[in-house]
Amino acid sequence: MMQPVTAPRSLKEKQRQEREELILQAAEEVLTEKGYYDTSVDEIASRVGIAKGTVYLHFPSKEDLVIAILERNAQKLVDIVEATVASGSTNREKLESILLVVYSGFFDPRISHLMQLPYFVVNSSELRRVFVEKKGCMRDKWDRMEALIASILEDGKAAGEFDKTLPTPIMSSAFFSLLSPRSFERLNANEQIPLDEFVKQLGRFYFKGIAAV
Amino acid sequence: MMQPVTAPRSLKEKQRQEREELILQAAEEVLTEKGYYDTSVDEIASRVGIAKGTVYLHFPSKEDLVIAILERNAQKLVDIVEATVASGSTNREKLESILLVVYSGFFDPRISHLMQLPYFVVNSSELRRVFVEKKGCMRDKWDRMEALIASILEDGKAAGEFDKTLPTPIMSSAFFSLLSPRSFERLNANEQIPLDEFVKQLGRFYFKGIAAV
Amino acid sequence: MMQPVTAPRSLKEKQRQEREELILQAAEEVLTEKGYYDTSVDEIASRVGIAKGTVYLHFPSKEDLVIAILERNAQKLVDIVEATVASGSTNREKLESILLVVYSGFFDPRISHLMQLPYFVVNSSELRRVFVEKKGCMRDKWDRMEALIASILEDGKAAGEFDKTLPTPIMSSAFFSLLSPRSFERLNANEQIPLDEFVKQLGRFYFKGIAAV
Amino acid sequence: MMQPVTAPRSLKEKQRQEREELILQAAEEVLTEKGYYDTSVDEIASRVGIAKGTVYLHFPSKEDLVIAILERNAQKLVDIVEATVASGSTNREKLESILLVVYSGFFDPRISHLMQLPYFVVNSSELRRVFVEKKGCMRDKWDRMEALIASILEDGKAAGEFDKTLPTPIMSSAFFSLLSPRSFERLNANEQIPLDEFVKQLGRFYFKGIAAV
DNA sequence: GATGAATGAGAATTCATTCAT
DNA sequence: TATGAATGAATTCTCATTCAT
């Protein structure tokens, strides 16, 4: 009662947070390596060095754990994209830097997961159902990113940089499609193109495609 | 009397083919709904209205069944794309018609699966291993499609239609990225854009992006 | 009615018998190679070159098929032993020749099965139950052989050749124990002893053991 | 306080050992009753009163469980035989006491399994493969027993007790053949001979058979 | 809180047996 | 009569989840 509201509590709480973070990291790791079904709670726990049961003190189910990861990643992505956008001056620069950051992230494990993981995970009736139910969380963030891109595009149109006759949704949709690092992965497997060259040319193509006439 | 010699044989064989077709269809259905791991052989069988064991008379394992579906789909896709390309006259028309046929197929269940299924299925360490081993089959077909697109793009460059300074791999990679009907699905969920309008604008954007200067 | 009792009937019947014989042979072959559970009706049928269902026209179940084989083998063994005994003149010669014929048979596939098969097959609750029930058939033959051996031993005792103070059941039991070619198999794997030398020495040992004092 | 340091550890460990022992016992029981193939992991578990999955916490597979039983039994048998041999003074006494202990064990379930189980189990192509691979374990112990018997026989020969002209392998092979309690089982079913009388007479026969001339 | 042993539903696969053709 | 496709019970093994310690 007289206790400081956050002191002893928050010590425990901090430890708790740290452990949860470790679980999330380990889970993300295994998940990316093996996909949803080949990831066992056992392996996650043993990578963290804790017991299986402890995982369940933090997340009510394997499913919830995975959802938590995806949500967190979605948030991270939004943050990165928003920060990136803020750093660009022109509308084109803003979009270019998003392109660059996402593709660079392909080799930066802290970022590459953000785009890759959903592909690895989404394929399960269980999880898909959740995505629909959790619209409030996951979907929200995705929508926010789309809105951000759309606003940049609209700004560009208003400024006469981008083609007014091309519907913004098409522009935005194309932009997202080009963002998937899978294209580059496949490309890179066959012909060795340096990443920055790839991104540069992709940008050239994209901005020519949406350029005002 | 006038019957082909293979009559009695082919009767049995025809029934066998029909049943196999039913299994493949049911499996494809469940697979698309639920993904590889949540699809049980039991459910496939019961959708066809046969016993579990019967499935194993046609396919030695669940894995083989899925592989068969993917291979068949890859072949169908190649066939469709090749036929589509043949029907176009200019290089642009050829690519435009591929775009159209793939997106139209989105609502034609016989075609929509072709592009969607691999995404749902590929995410399992088991199956991914198979894809590497089966390179001779699956990968071959995919490579063939890429080669086809690339050759159209090269022709276009030679003819002065497309931008010679843009590397063909980038053009081709971008083209494939835009092909994924997922973009449209997401788009369509939010804003109601008619499919043909979507494809038309996407084509406009793409060809402006790769147009010769 | 007026038909010859055995003519058209017996043609069919003969073919039937022949086929049954083929089935029995194939089954015995596979059974010896793989044991009861690893032998599938499918494989038996395909070795004969007939359909699985046809096997069931001859034998109501896999179990019955195996029982039939064992019974037939028991009969063959009895026949061989009885013929062998008849050919010997002294009691010792009679037993010696049984020893020899059984061990020689170890390399004669037509005989080796007779002693080996029961060991391969008997280990299944199903079959053991049957052995008890079918006492009338299998057991009978075995008993008959034991009686035959016992009578030779009794004769030998009466003739003053064998030890009267050694109970016949012990003599007979020991004789049967020594008959199992498995001992020789194991022995032969380690140290290379020629079969006839083995049998000779085994006989020497046995007859010294039961010799009259 | 006075407790050994290993207390808490060893409590868990002890329980684990106890449960494992129960599983081994139940498995041995069912195995002896039904043979390898008719023994299901389910039944073993339900005899112990635990869930199927729990069996797999102790043994990675049904096969491993059975191997564990056989190895343990082989070890027990070796131990018993070695102890028995040590207690005898003359070479004859040593062999006699082995005979006695194995046959007595026929009614002592803790011992009878040792000789019976291999016969019930070995007949499965699966397991036979394992026996070859695991030569280092199972076979080793069997070889050790054979070596022990052989050395007793050799000693007896050197001491002038046993027949020098009879090859040791034949003597040893005959001894092992006579050891199989199956002979007695059959005998006992027909004529009621007391066990110790049986063993006494069998010994008389055997030692007369190998006696020096 | 943390643990990890125990659970048991569920999945893939096999194969003796049946029966329509 | 012969066939072999179809059946489905049974088996092994896995793993998310629970709960007594």
Same domain, D29 and D76: no
Same domain, C34 and C126: no
Encoded tokens for B47: 């959708």
Same domain, D24 and D98: no
Cα→Cα distances A42→A19, A55, A72, B126, Å: 16, 9, 22, 19
pLDDT value at residue D5: 46
pLDDT value at residue C32: 84
pLDDT value at residue B94: 94
Q: What's the domain count of chain B?
A: 2
Q: Which of residues 154-173 of A touch B (CB under 8 A)?
A: 163, 166-167, 169-171, 173
Same domain, C194 and C96: yes
CA to C1' distance (Å), from C13 to F8: 35
Q: Which is nearest to C186 in space by CA: D126, D35, D176, D76?
A: D176
**pLDDT value at C105 more than 70:** yes
Domain membership of residue B6 (yes or no) is: no
List residues bridging with C162 in a β-sheet: C211
**HSE-up of residue B117 (Cα within 13 Å, Cβ side):** 28
Domain membership of residue A6 (yes or no) is: no
Same domain, A205 and A108: yes
For residues A85 and A126, the model is more confident at: A85
Domain membership of residue A4 (yes or no) is: no
How many Å apart are CA B212 and CA D205, to the nearest integer? 107
How many Å apart are CA B190 and CA A167, to the nearest integer? 14
Which chains neighbour C (Cβ–Cβ under 8 Å, 3 or more pairs)? D
Same domain, A191 and A129: yes
Query: Average model confidence (pLDDT) for chain A?
Result: 85
Q: Do the two chains D and C touch, given a threshold of 8 Å on CB pairs and at least 3 pairs?
A: yes
Structure confidence by residue, pLDDT tens digits, A169-194: 999 999 988 887 666 777 777 777 88
**Region C46-68 average pLDDT:** 95
Encoded tokens for C187: 């022995």
Domain membership of residue A3 (yes or no) is: no
CA to C1' distance (Å), from B41 to E12: 8
**pLDDT value at B81 more than 60:** yes
What's phi and psi for C208, nearest 5 deg? -65, -40
What CATH number is given to the structural domain containing D68?
1.10.357.10
Range of the domain at C44: 11-60
Residue of D nearest to C121 (CA): D123
Q: Which residues have CB under 8 Å from B188's CB, separation 6+? A: B195, B198
Beta strands in B19-131 (DSSP E): none
Give the end of a domain, one of B28, B44, B60.
B60
Same domain, A51 and A76: no
In strand E, which positions have an atom below 7 A from any protein CB?
1-20
Structure confidence by residue, pLDDT tens digits, B116-131: 676 666 656 667 677 7
C174, C184, C202 member nearest D205 (Cβ):
C174
Query: Average model confidence (pLDDT) for chain B?
Result: 85
First and final C-alpha spacing in chain B: 68
Give the end of a domain, one of D26, D41, D60.
D60
- Within 10 A of B146 (CB to CB), how many other CB atoms are there? 18
Domain membership of residue B25 (yes or no) is: yes
Q: From chain D, pick out residues whose CB is under 8 angstroms from the CB of C40.
A: none
How many Å apart are CA C190 and CA C171, to the nearest integer? 28
How many Å apart are CA D8 and CA D6, to the nearest integer? 6
Q: Do residue A177 and residue B183 have CB atoms under 8 angstroms apart?
A: yes
CA–chain centroid gap for A183, Å, is: 17
What CATH number is given to the structural domain containing B49?
1.10.10.60
Measuring from the CA of residue C52 to each C1' atom, give the nucleotide at the shortest distance: F4
How many Å apart are CA B164 and CA C153, to the nearest integer? 105
Same domain, C53 and C77: no
| Best to test chain C binding among D115, D120, D130, D173 (most C CBs inside 10 Å) | D173
Measuring from the CA of residue C41 to each C1' atom, give the nucleotide at the shortest distance: E16
**What is chain A's percent helix, strand, coil content, to nearest 5?**
80, 0, 20
How many Å apart are CA B63 and CA B120, to the nearest integer? 14
Shortest alpha-carbon distance between residue C115 and chain D (Å): 15
C195 in D contact zone (CB under 8 Å): no
Is D54 (CB) below 7 Å from strand F? no
| DSSP letters spanning D91-142 | HHHHHHHHHHHHHHGGGSHHHHHHHHHHHHHS-SHHHHHHHHHGGGTHHHHH
Same domain, B125 and B193: yes
Give the end of a domain, one of C60, C80, C100.
C60
Domain membership of residue C2 (yes or no) is: no
- For the ranges A7-11, B99-103, D102-106, the lowest mean pLDDT is seen at A7-11
How many Å apart are CA B179 and CA B119, to the nearest integer? 13
pTM for the model stands at 0.87
pLDDT value at residue C110: 66
Q: What percent of chain B has pLDDT over 90?
A: 47
Longest dimension (CA), chain C: 69
> D195 in helix, strand or coil?
helix
pLDDT value at residue D163: 95
B38, B123, B174 member nearest A120 (Cβ):
B123
- Within 10 A of A168 (CB to CB), how many other CB atoms are there? 19
CA–chain centroid gap for A147, Å, is: 16
Going residue by residue through chain D (213 aa), what tens digit of pLDDT does each one get? Answer: 444 444 555 778 888 999 999 999 999 999 888 888 899 999 999 999 999 999 999 999 999 999 999 888 888 888 988 998 898 889 999 999 998 888 887 666 666 667 667 666 665 666 667 776 765 677 788 888 889 999 999 999 999 999 999 999 999 999 988 887 666 766 666 677 888 888 899 999 999 999 987
Domain membership of residue A1 (yes or no) is: no
Q: From chain B, pick out residues whose CB is under 8 angstroms from the CB of A63.
A: none
Domain membership of residue C102 (yes or no) is: yes
Same domain, C30 and C51: yes
Q: Do residue A201 and residue B119 have CB atoms under 8 angstroms apart?
A: no
Is A36 (CB) below 7 Å from strand F? no
Residue appearing with tokens 């990675």: D60
D106 in C contact zone (CB under 8 Å): no
What's phi and psi for D162, nearest 5 deg? -105, 160
**pLDDT value at C1 more than 60:** no
Same domain, A152 and A49: no
pLDDT value at residue D181: 65
Q: Are C196 and C118 in contact, with CB atoms under 8 Å apart?
A: no
pLDDT value at residue D162: 96
- For the ranges A37-51, A84-98, B51-65, the lowest mean pLDDT is seen at A84-98
Q: What percent of chain B has pLDDT over 70?
A: 80
Q: Which residues have CB under 8 Å from B197's CB, separation 6+? A: none
Show the DSSP H helices in C35-163 as ranges: 41-48, 52-58, 62-87, 91-105, 109-121, 125-133, 138-158
Measuring from the CA of residue C42 to each C1' atom, give the nucleotide at the shortest distance: E15
- For the ranges B45-49, C90-94, D122-126, the lowest mean pLDDT is seen at D122-126
- For the ranges A2-16, C176-190, D59-73, the lowest mean pLDDT is seen at A2-16
- For the ranges B48-62, C56-70, C77-91, D155-169, the lowest mean pLDDT is seen at C77-91
Q: Which is nearest to C44 in space by CA: C64, C60, C24, C58?
A: C24
Same domain, D193 and D179: yes
